[in-house]
Amino acid sequence: MSIKVGTRGSRLALAQTDTVCNKLAALGIEAEKKIITTQGDTVTNVPLHEIGKQGVFVRALDDAILAGEIDCAVHSMKDIPACRPFGLFTAAVLKRDSPADFFACMGAPGAAKIIGTSSTRRKAQLLRNRQGIVIKDLRGNVDTRIRKMHAGEYDAIILAEAGLTRLGLEIPGERLPPEIFVPSPNQGTIAVVSRADPSLMEILSAVDHPVSRTDVAMERAVMEQVGAGCFTPMGIYCKAGHLIAEVLSLDGKRVLRIEKDITTIEEARVLGSELRTRAQGLIGEAYKTLGISYER
């Protein structure tokens, strides 16, 4: 059986898709790549929250699956929103790479003052943990971000460590510990989404990593209960059942954090519900500050 695999056209997206296709090929399954352009790729001059809700890198690929143009799509799992269209299924979760953020800089990390990121989470965590810095918006693929830093537009930029590894890039900087700089839910994880077709799902399940699937499912259960979208600074990280989840104010000065060992998805949902209740004020405040309507 030949499978048509959809992907974004960035170098990182293609590298991730090659990883999936190579794993399938090792099992004797032929895979053909098809590049799909998403709104997140074409609108690069504004912060992500100004484009629309979470999922700007995902919707076009979802539509292509449902239209029968492709059989499945490869995603950075952190880009996949909580609410999913009917008829789609996460058929495989690959073994997780590093979940951590990487502080890339040309000089000493402590000397960096102008730092580039478009993530409200990363901005809030940086402001909480580092003094005397200025955060400037930064969009574009990994190569574009690094080029802007080399051009002197930023002293440092924040990237996902997993993306650098997948691209084979080694740049100066330091890993930010995920216990302190709690990553986005599912960061460092590649997912394969397909039609809810039993035969297709069975084939793709051969590249699934059950331990990683369990960890990211815990994170996703918390994310779904909190429901704060990409507008609110929020980090969720689970490793071997140890869950850390936090919601921050946009300026990083206030934080509500939960840390607990759990064993079931239901426990994760309960913690997510608790965090949502406690963090309602911060979530509403973030939406209001960004000029976005918020419904509880």
Catalytic residue among 71, 79, 101, 155: 79
296 is catalytic: no
Catalytic residue among 62, 230, 238, 276: 230
Put simply, whether the predicted model's pTM sits higher than 0.85 gets the answer: yes
145 is catalytic: yes
User: Does one domain contain both 204 and 222?
Assistant: no
User: Does one domain contain both 196 and 171?
Assistant: no
Domain hosting residue 215, numbered range: 209-296
Asked, for residue 26, whether it belongs to a domain, the answer is: yes
Contact 215, 77 (CB under 8 A): no
User: Does one domain contain both 196 and 90?
Assistant: yes
Catalytic residue among 96, 123, 139, 276: 139
3-class SS of residue 184 = coil
Token readout for 255 is 């934080």
Identify the helix (H) or strand (E) that includes residue 202: helix 198-204
Catalytic residue among 8, 122, 220, 276: 122
Catalytic residue among 8, 96, 121, 220: 121
User: Does one domain contain both 219 and 241?
Assistant: yes
User: Does one domain contain both 111 and 68?
Assistant: no
- CATH code, domain carrying 215: 3.30.160.40
**Alpha carbon distance, N-terminus to C-terminus of the chain:** 46
Amino acid 295: pLDDT: 62
Backbone angles phi, psi at 35, to 5 degrees: -85, 130
Catalytic residue among 8, 78, 96, 166: 78
230 is catalytic: yes
Contact 120, 137 (CB under 8 A): no
Task: Spell out the per-residue pLDDT of the chain, length 296, in tens.
Answer: 689 999 999 999 999 999 999 999 999 999 999 999 865 544 444 444 444 444 667 999 999 999 999 999 999 999 998 888 999 999 999 999 999 999 999 899 999 999 999 999 999 999 999 999 999 999 888 999 999 999 999 999 999 999 999 999 999 999 999 999 999 999 999 999 999 999 999 999 999 999 999 999 999 999 999 986 778 899 999 999 999 999 999 999 999 999 999 999 999 999 999 999 999 999 999 888 877 766 65
Q: What whole-number distance in Å separates Cα of residue 29 and Cα of residue 20?
A: 11
130 is catalytic: no
- CATH code, domain carrying 134: 3.40.190.10
Residue environment code for 41-63, b if the CB has 16+ CB neighbours within 10 A, otherwise e: beeeeeebbebeebbbbbbbbbe
122 is catalytic: yes
User: Does one domain contain both 280 and 258?
Assistant: yes
